[in-house]
Structure 1
């Protein structure tokens, strides 16, 4: 497994794990609390920060575990990365229509922010899954 494929797996796992914890903490408050009163900003920034930090640490650990592969990219890696990012871009572009629509309909900031975060998460996850499939089955 190339270092770039490992990075795609790391990114996919983090793109699932961190948001699941965040949404479990935040959305359990929705039935009993007015969404305007839910303190979601700090947990959202924390989730983003933790995801970035975990990605950096896990990538470094993966590089230390196989130093011969670390940082090496061939043409196939570049094409797969480009294709995954391309697909992720389109997913993000389509999904950002939801928070845009919520903003236009003047929904609470809670729903706008969380739908935008979910759009980022789904785009990142899609990008990673596309890369993993491309590595496993070919581009």
Structure 2
């Protein structure tokens, strides 16, 4: 597994876990009540921060383990890696655009801040996950 693919996997794993943890924490805090009554800001900020740190740590540890097996191949990327990165960025951006449009509609209807922020949060997470899945598929099956 090449350097870029390892980083994609680390980001993908952490994104899915982070999204699940945030969702569980919000639902627990709501305790059956209205979701927009939850104090979501600290939960969201801590989840985002912890996810960034976790992705970096997982990537570094995985890279160190891979470096012990193949010291020559660590950190190398080629044109294929760049092409896959560009493709996955385009795929992921589509979901950011959808989330952004959703936020604009929510703002037009003066929806509660909770829903606006969560639309963007899940849009970013979905963008990262879908882009990561597209990258993994491209690494496994090739670009067509």
TM-score between the two structures when normalised by the length of structure 2: 0.90
Cα deviations by residue, 1:25-51 (Å, 9 ceiling, x for unpaired): 11341731461x311000100000011
Structure 2 spans left out of the alignment, 5+ residues: none
**Contact 2:92–2:127 (Cα < 8 Å) also in 1:** yes
Runs ≥4 residues deviating over 6 A: none
Match in the other structure for 1:10: 10
TM-score, normalization by structure 1: 0.93
Pair 1:117-2:118 in alignment: no
Deviates more, 1:129-138 or 1:59-68: 59-68
Instruction: Count how many residue pairs are aligned between Structure 1 and Structure 2.
Output: 138
Aligned-residue CA RMSD (Å) = 1.4
Cα separation, partners in 2 of 1:34 and 1:138, compared to 1, 3 Å = closer
Q: Distance in 1 between matches of 2:35 and 2:99?
A: 25
> 1:40 and 2:20 equivalent?
no
The corresponding residue for 1:138 is: 142
Structure 1 spans left out of the alignment, 5+ residues: none
Moved more, 116-125 or 58-67: 58-67
From the superposition, tell whether residues 31 and 104 of structure 1 become closer, same or farther in structure 2 (CA, over 3 Å).
Answer: farther
